[in-house]
Chains A and B, each alone.
Chain A
Amino acid sequence: MTASFEPRILVFACNWCSYAGADMAGVSRFQMPPNCRVVRVMCSARIKPDQILAALTRGIDAVVVLGCHPGDCHYAEGNYHTRRRALVLDALLATLGVEKERFQVRWISAAEGAKFAAAIREVIDTVRDLGPNPLGRSHGTQAS
Chain B
Amino acid sequence: MGKVRVGVFVCHCGSNIGGTVRVPEVVEYARGLPAVRYAEHNLYTCSDAGLTSIKKKIAEHGLNRVVVASCTPRTHEELFRRACEEAGLNRYLFEFVNLREHCSWIHMREPDAATAKAKDLVRMGVAKAALLEPLEAARAKVTPVSLVIGGGAAGLAAAGALAQQGFRVHLVERSDRLGGLAISLWRLLPGDRPAAEIVGVLEREVKATGNVQIHLRTVVEDVSGFVGAFKVRLASPDGPAEFEVGTIIVATGARELEPLGLYRWRELEGVMTQLELERALSSGRTRYGDAVFINCAGAREPGRTYCGRLCCAVAIKNARYLKESDPDARVTVLQRDVMAFGAEFEGEYRRAMEAGVRFVRYSPSLLPEIVGDASVKAVRVRHDLMGRDIEIPAQIVVLTTPLASHADSGELSRMLKVPLDADGFFLEAHMKLRPVEFATDGVFVAGAARFPADIREAVSQGIAAAAKAAAPMYAGEVIVEATTARTDPRACSGCGSCEAVCPFGAVTVAQDAKGRPVSSVNAVVCKGCGACAAACPCGAVQQQGFTEQQILEMVESLAFGREEAP
A interface residues (Cβ-Cβ under 8 A, vs B): 8, 10, 15, 19-20, 22-23, 25-27, 29-34, 37-43, 45-48, 51, 54-55, 58-60, 72, 74-78, 81, 85, 117, 143-144
B555 touches A60 (CB 8 A): yes
Q: Which residues of A contact B552 (CB under 8 A)?
A: 51, 54
Q: CA of A74 to CA of B120 in the docked complex: distance in angstroms?
A: 29
Q: Report the interface size class on chain B.
A: 35 or more
B559 touches A60 (CB 8 A): yes
- Beta-carbon contacts of B416-438 to A below 8 Å, as 1s and 0s? 00010000000001100000000
Q: Pick out which of these stretches binds chain A: B95-103, B177-185, B361-369, B374-382.
A: B95-103
A23 touches B551 (CB 8 A): no
A42 touches B419 (CB 8 A): no
B490 vs chain A, min Cβ distance (A): 20
A135 vs chain B, min Cβ distance (A): 11
Q: How many residue pairs at the A-B interface have CB separations less than 8 Å?
A: 134
Please, which residue of chain B has its CB at the minimum distance from the CB of A12?
B551
Q: CA of A40 to CA of B529 in the docked complex: distance in angstroms?
A: 12
Q: Which residues of B contact A38 (CB under 8 A)?
A: 98, 102
A30 vs chain B, min Cβ distance (A): 6
Q: Which residues of B contact A23 (CB under 8 A)?
A: 72, 74, 98, 101-102
Q: Which residues of B contact A75 (CB under 8 A)?
A: 439, 503-504, 527, 529, 531
A84 vs chain B, min Cβ distance (A): 10
Q: Which residues of A contact B73 (CB under 8 A)?
A: 40
Q: Please provide the 10 A-B residue pairs with the shortest distance between their CB atoms, ordered closest to farther.
A: A26-B101, A46-B530, A58-B559, A45-B531, A75-B529, A43-B529, A26-B105, A34-B113, A143-B560, A23-B101
Q: Which residues of A contact B360 (CB under 8 A)?
A: none
Whether B543 is near chain A, meaning CB under 8 Å from some CB there, is yes
Q: Which residues of B contact A33 (CB under 8 A)?
A: 107
Q: CA of A34 to CA of B529 in the docked complex: distance in angstroms?
A: 29
Please, which residue of chain A has its CB at the minimum distance from the CB of B116?
A34
- Pick the contact of A25 from B101, B117, B429, B534 — CB < 8 Å? B101
Please, which residue of chain B has its CB at the minimum distance from the CB of A11?
B102
Q: CA of A106 to CA of B325 in the docked complex: distance in angstroms?
A: 60
Q: Which residues of B contact A81 (CB under 8 A)?
A: 501, 531, 534-535
Q: Which residues of B contact A31 (CB under 8 A)?
A: 106-109
Q: CA of A29 to CA of B19 in the docked complex: distance in angstroms?
A: 14
A43 vs chain B, min Cβ distance (A): 4
Q: CA of A37 to CA of B529 in the docked complex: distance in angstroms?
A: 21
Q: Which residues of A contact B110 (CB under 8 A)?
A: 34
B561 vs chain A, min Cβ distance (A): 9
- Pick the contact of A55 from B107, B429, B559 — CB < 8 Å? B559
Q: Which residues of A contact B531 (CB under 8 A)?
A: 43, 45-46, 75, 78, 81
Q: Which residues of A contact B528 (CB under 8 A)?
A: 42
Whether B297 is near chain A, meaning CB under 8 Å from some CB there, is no
B530 touches A43 (CB 8 A): yes
Q: CA of A75 to CA of B543 in the docked complex: distance in angstroms?
A: 15
Q: CA of A77 to CA of B440 in the docked complex: distance in angstroms?
A: 13
A82 vs chain B, min Cβ distance (A): 9
Whether B124 is near chain A, meaning CB under 8 Å from some CB there, is yes
A46 touches B72 (CB 8 A): no
Q: CA of A22 to CA of B563 in the docked complex: distance in angstroms?
A: 28
Q: Which residues of A contact B72 (CB under 8 A)?
A: 19, 23, 26
Q: CA of A144 to CA of B503 in the docked complex: distance in angstroms?
A: 37
Q: CA of A30 to CA of B107 in the docked complex: distance in angstroms?
A: 9
Extra pairs beyond A76-B503, A77-B503, A78-B503 (19, CB < 8 Å): A19-B74, A25-B101, A25-B106, A29-B106, A33-B107, A34-B110, A39-B551, A43-B531, A45-B529, A46-B530, A46-B534, A48-B533, A54-B552, A55-B558, A76-B429, A77-B419, A78-B529, A143-B559, A143-B560
- Pick the contact of B106 from A19, A32, A74 — CB < 8 Å? A32
Whether B483 is near chain A, meaning CB under 8 Å from some CB there, is yes
B106 touches A46 (CB 8 A): no
Q: Which residues of A contact B501 (CB under 8 A)?
A: 45, 81
Please, which residue of chain A has its CB at the minimum distance from the CB of B545?
A42
Whether B507 is near chain A, meaning CB under 8 Å from some CB there, is no
Whether B254 is near chain A, meaning CB under 8 Å from some CB there, is no
Please, which residue of chain A has its CB at the minimum distance from the CB of B552?
A54
Q: CA of A117 to CA of B108 in the docked complex: distance in angstroms?
A: 14
Q: Which residues of B contact A43 (CB under 8 A)?
A: 529-531
With A75-B439, A144-B556 known to touch, is A41 a contact of B503 (CB < 8 Å)? Answer: no
Q: Which residues of A contact B121 (CB under 8 A)?
A: 37
Q: Which residues of B contact A29 (CB under 8 A)?
A: 105-106, 108
Q: Which residues of A contact B555 (CB under 8 A)?
A: 10, 39, 51, 54-55, 58, 60
Q: CA of A101 to CA of B218 in the docked complex: distance in angstroms?
A: 57
Whether B114 is near chain A, meaning CB under 8 Å from some CB there, is yes
Please, which residue of chain B has its CB at the minimum distance from the CB of A50?
B548
B367 vs chain A, min Cβ distance (A): 32
- Pick the contact of A46 from B107, B113, B533, B558 — CB < 8 Å? B533
Q: Which residues of B contact A74 (CB under 8 A)?
A: 430, 439, 529
Residues of B45-97 whose CB lies within 8 A of A: 72-74
Q: Which residues of A contact B525 (CB under 8 A)?
A: none
Question: Would you mind naming 7 contact pairs between A and B with Cβ atoms under 8 Å apart?
Answer: A19-B74, A37-B124, A60-B559, A74-B430, A75-B439, A76-B419, A143-B560
Q: Which residues of A contact B74 (CB under 8 A)?
A: 15, 19-20, 23
Q: CA of A29 to CA of B504 in the docked complex: distance in angstroms?
A: 38
A25 vs chain B, min Cβ distance (A): 6
- Pick the contact of B117 from A30, A34, A78, A144 — CB < 8 Å? A34
Q: CA of A20 to CA of B103 in the docked complex: distance in angstroms?
A: 14
